[in-house]
């Protein structure tokens, strides 16, 4: 492995670590909200079901 390959490998390694750390902090922060309604944006959840969940939650908050 040449010097350039080694440098590229190190860049890739540290770039990945630099994005993981803020994501972990964000998840930790979000866990501090016990009543948080979480929807998996990348999941297979039906958009219509997600919309109904949000509407139901909004109605509960408004007392309707």
For the chain, 64 residues long, give each residue's pLDDT as a single digit of tens: 688 888 888 888 888 777 788 888 999 999 999 888 777 776 666 888 888 888 998 898 888 7
| Tokens at 46, concatenated | 């039906």
> Which residues, at least 6 apart from 36, have a Cβ–Cβ distance to it below 8 Å?
30
3-state SS class at 13: helix
What residues does each domain of the chain span?
1-32, 38-64
Separation of alpha carbons 63 and 19, rounded Å: 40
3-state SS class at 20: helix
Separation of alpha carbons 36 and 33, rounded Å: 5
What is the structure's pLDDT at 7? 86
Its pTM stands at 0.44
């Amino acid at each position: 492995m040449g010097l350039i390959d080694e440098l590229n490998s190190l860049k890739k390694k540290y770039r990945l670590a630099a994005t993981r750390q803020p994501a972990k902090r964000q998840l930790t922060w979000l866990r501090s909200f016990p009543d948080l309604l979480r929807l998996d944006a990348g999941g297979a959840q039906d958009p219509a079901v997600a919309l109904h969940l949000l509407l139901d939650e909004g109605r509960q908050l408004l007392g309707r």
